[in-house]
Structures are given as C-alpha cells and as structure tokens.
Structure 1
Amino acid sequence: MACKKTITVFGATGAQGGSVVKALLQDKSFAVRAVTRDVTKPAAQKLKEAGAEVVSADLDNETSVKAALKGTYGAFVVTNFWEHMDKDKEVKQGKQIADLCKQLELKHVIYSGLENVQKLTGGKLEVPHFDSKGLVEEYFRQIKVPMTSVRLAFYFENFLTLCRPQKCQDGKTYQLVIPMGDIPMDGISVTDLGPIVCSVLKNPSEYAGKDIGLSADKLTIRQYAEIMSEVTGKTIVDSKITPEAYIKLDLPVVQEMNSMFLFYHMRPDRNVALTRKLNPNVKTFKQFMEANKEAFKDL
C-alpha cells in the first residue's frame, strides 16, 4: 500500500464519493484516503474495514481539509449544495479546496462540476447548484490546478424521490411530472460514477484539463415512462407539463428544478459513448429500473 499513489476522496460516505471509494478500492491501483465529517459512523467504519484510510474533515474548516489533502497524489472533490442551499458557500468551499490543491501540488484533481448556466445564458437563466460548481471549475483552471471536471447528467435515482411517478385522478394511471416536452434528457445512475473517476485517474495525460459530460441514456420523458411501465407493470405516462405550469406546483425546490430543466432544454454536452468507454458497465435506464423494481412495488 505504501508504494501506491494516494487519492483523497471527499464525501466518502455520500452517493458520489461512496461510489468513487468503492471503485478505487476494487481496482487496487491507488491507495484511498476517505474523507468524512464523522469517522465513527457505521458507513465510515465500513470504508475502513474495506481498506480505506478514513479521516475527518469539514469543508468549512481549512485546517482539516489541508490535512486530508496533504501528501496525496490526487483527489476527488464533491461539494453538496443541497446541504445548505447557499451558492456563495459552495463556491467558497470549492475555491478553498482548489487553493489547497495548488499549494500542496496535487497532480490530478477530479472535480464533480457542472456548467455556469448564468454565464452561458448571459444571465437569462440561473441554476444556483450548477452555477456555483461552474464558478469553481473556472477557478481551478484560473489557478492552473490539473483538474478534470466530471459533469453528471440527471440522476436516475431522482425517479425514486423528487421525480417519482405521481398518481393520476383516475387512480390507475401514473405520470412523470417533468417539464421537458419532447426534448431528450440525459440520465445516469450516480452509482456508476466511481469506475469513471478511476479510469480518468489512470489516464491523466488523456483527461487532465478536460470537462467530461456523463450520460448513460438520452431519452424523452415519454421514453422514460414507457420503460418504467414495462418494468413495473403499471401504466406510467408523460404528463406533458409545461415549465410555466410546473413552476406553480407545490413541490420541493421547484424554482431550482424548473431552472435546471430549462437548461436541459439547451441540450448540454453529455457524451454517452465516452461515458461507456470510461465505464463499460454503466447501467442503461432499463437496467437501473430492473435493479430498483422493488422501490416501485407500492405504486
């Protein structure tokens, strides 16, 4: 283990970081330093048992973040906008990590980034959880840290929670309430991120400095609904809701989600072929549904 290059993985007990730690440990090309706030919780202990070095750090505490990065070859960096819903705070956390990566001379950073939508649209559209990451991407480049940005598509997992099929008035049919019209929407399972990050880390000359848009499937909402119907045996359809109607719904973070879907209307760059090259086992939406069929049995 001592001769292996070490990768620091932030958010190691979360969805993205957890997938990365798992893939790196299975691949065995790197030693893994898993970062979490509470090293005593069961998820952290499991990582230790699996072979990771588990350390405590808080993204708001510079000293702890520096200690987590010290002496490592590279890092996987993810920040969590949804934890505090504060764009400025996420930018501050990201820039601080970038500064420390520069100071400690890390050789390759994989950042879970997204586009700066506000900048791309000339201020016509704001998606705070995208814009914050876009600003951090720009900062990494500005201070010349060797960084690859991996930009995830819509999580398939959102169909289990925020975008779960809703029962129609007839009590028999269900609908997906997503304002995309007939525009295809890229999607991916967050669990498939880890092997992608591992591939990127193993090929720095090919991917350092690049922005990689990740996607496992490009489907219309009607196509997502048809696959869900096929797998669950329920009748699930596209509600065909418009952005104007969607934003008036009483849903969690509806403004943020509506802005995100409007950005998806612009078809941001997400590359299915490259995603499959980096992780040949990435799940299609149908494979994801079949693996998660039990989650829909109560529909």
Structure 2
Amino acid sequence: MPLFSGLQGGAVTRGLLAHSSFKVKAVTRDPNKPSSKALEKLGAEVVKGDLDDRAVVESILKGSYGAFFVTNFFDHFSKEKEVKQGKMLADISKELGLKHVIFSGVENVNKITGGKLEVLHFDGKGEVEEYFWEQKVPMTSVRIAAYYENFLSTWKPVKAIDGNYYVLAIPMGDVPLDGISVADIGPAIANILDHPSEYIGKWVGLSAEALTIEQYASVLSKHMGKTVKDAKITMEAYEKLGFPGAEELANMFRFNLTRPQRDVSLTHKLIPNVRTFDKFIADNKEAFKHL
C-alpha cells in the first residue's frame, strides 16, 4: 500500500500501521529526513519517489493493492503541474489495475461557481478528482477540512496594534469553518480501505467540528491565558495584506462561506478518537508560550 508522503501521507502511514494489516510503503523525496526515519521505525518501508518521474512512480505502485495519493500545489504554485501529476497517477493506477485508490481531493471551485471564483490549489485537485472517476479508477476522494495545524503557524494569533490582546485574522465573519487535525486522519483512511464497497466511487468530507472564528478565538484564549479576539477582517482587507497567495486564500475563504459539505458525524464514526479543537490546542499549547 504505497502512500505519497507529506503531512497527510505521514498521518495515513501511522494510521494504517496501527489500524490495518496492510504492508505500508511510504514514498518521499527524502528518505533520510527525521520524519521519514520515524515512519521506518514504526514499520513502514520508506522509499524515494518523485511525482515528476513516471517510471519511478510506476515501479513503486506495481503489485500494490491500492494507494493513498496527495498532490501539493504549494510545492510549485502551478495548477497545471498539479493536474499533470494527478492525471499521471490516475493513468498508472488504471494501467496497473489498483483495486482501491484514495485521493486527497477538494472541490473544483472554478467549475462550481461558473468561473466567479478561482482557487488554484482547490481547482487542480478537483480536476484530478473528476479525471480519476472519468477513467473509472476505483477511487475514494477524501476532502479534508482546514487543518488545526494552521493555527500553530500561518493562522497563529497576532498581537493587536491597539491593545494588550491578540487577534485571529481569518475572514469568515460569523460563518463556521470546518476543521480537523491532519495528524488524526489515519484511522479514517484505514476504515475506508476496510470497506471498499461503501466508499469506492464516492467522496468523503472529513471534519472534527465546525466553529466560528470567535469560537476558535475563545478556545485559544482559554489555553494561552491571554485574550484572543476575532479581528473581524473583511475579505477585501484580507486579500490586500500583501503576502504571497493572499488573493488565492481570500477566494478560498469566500468558497468556505458557502459551507462546502464536510460530514462531522461520519468523521467521528471513521475516527472514534478524533480531537476537538479544544483538545488539539491543549495538546499543542507549548507552541504559544512565546507569544
């Protein structure tokens, strides 16, 4: 069972090793990095691979029952390259007769909105997802909600200019945002692989819970011991913040305002011990000690 690594691949590798009988092969560009060595110690076969090298990918997948695939737009910031890589994975899966592929997909926002919104890191995956099904590859698409891990990095609270408190600058207004820890998704993939007849040909939306930004801020305040507030930033102000990808992320949040379907109830069935945001922050509050 090859898994193409990264945050998701590592979590799925750990989940399969703990919750399934599959022999797991973790594919990474660097088998010598600490995270790869950690997976090896757990029992995974760690191999070097590259989504730009078809021959290598084909040799890795040959003889496998199935695979978990992740493509990463942010490796190169090219929708076209992501689509090319994803379609190659679909073609190889079909040619080799894989029995069950799980693809980390999301919606094709540009198509859904009739061209009104473009979210490149969604649209490419959505296009690949459609291609898998067009090619009749036995595939389940897993659409994962916003990572809780973002609150430890890019979405970490920042100190307000006008007071002794912190703010979350996430332009969702009062609309809940689905979330989950990427570290928790492994058991879901193991469960889906154990029940192919239930999930092949379908997509599954994973979310531990949906909270408003004010609710996320309240949880952070509780564990940080400092006041965190929703900055109430507008979408227009957010996309003008000037960091690379600001407009892309603003459009992602615009799409999230439509509440794309994520199934909290099914997620808790597939991942019985999935963590709430409160539990996740309690487990990671050391990340905020220097704020």
Q: What band does the TM-score fall into relative to the shorter chain?
A: over 0.9
Alpha-carbon distance, 1:209 to partner: 0.9
Partner of 2:92: 100
Structure 2: distance between partners of 1:236 and 1:191: 25
TM-score calculated relative to the size of structure 2: 0.98
Partner of 1:225: 217
Q: Write the mapping of 1:172-183 to structure 2, written as runs, cut at 5 A.
A: 172-183=164-175
Structure 2: distance between partners of 1:203 and 1:254: 39
Deviations 1:137-165 (A, max 9, x none): 00000000010000011111111111111
TM-score calculated relative to the size of structure 1: 0.95
Partner of 2:63: 71
The reply to whether residue 15 of structure 1 matches residue 7 of structure 2 is yes
The reply to whether residue 167 of structure 1 matches residue 159 of structure 2 is yes
The reply to whether residue 41 of structure 1 matches residue 41 of structure 2 is no
**Structure 1 counterpart SS, 2:185:** helix
Structure 2: distance between partners of 1:289 and 1:38: 30
Deviations 1:191-233 (A, max 9, x none): 0111111110111011111111111111110111011111211
Deviations 1:246-298 (A, max 9, x none): 11113342111101100000100011000000001111010111011111111
Partner of 1:27: 19
The reply to whether residue 212 of structure 1 matches residue 218 of structure 2 is no
The reply to whether residue 189 of structure 1 matches residue 187 of structure 2 is no
Letter in 2 for 1:130: F
Gaps of at least 5 residues in structure 1 are: 1-6
Q: How many residues end up aligned between the 2 structures?
A: 291
**Structure 2 counterpart SS, 1:110:** strand
Deviations 1:56-111 (A, max 9, x none): 21100000000111000010000111111110000000000000000000000010
Deviating 4+ runs (over 6 angstroms)? none
Structure 2: distance between partners of 1:110 and 1:223: 32
Structure 1: distance between partners of 2:112 and 2:165: 39
The answer to whether the 8 Å contact 2:28/2:47 transfers is: yes
**Structure 2 counterpart SS, 1:268:** coil
Structure 2: distance between partners of 1:46 and 1:177: 35
Partner of 1:135: 127
Q: Pick which of 117-126 and 246-255 moved more.
A: 246-255
Alpha-carbon distance, 1:171 to partner: 4.5
The answer to whether the 8 Å contact 2:20/2:190 transfers is: no
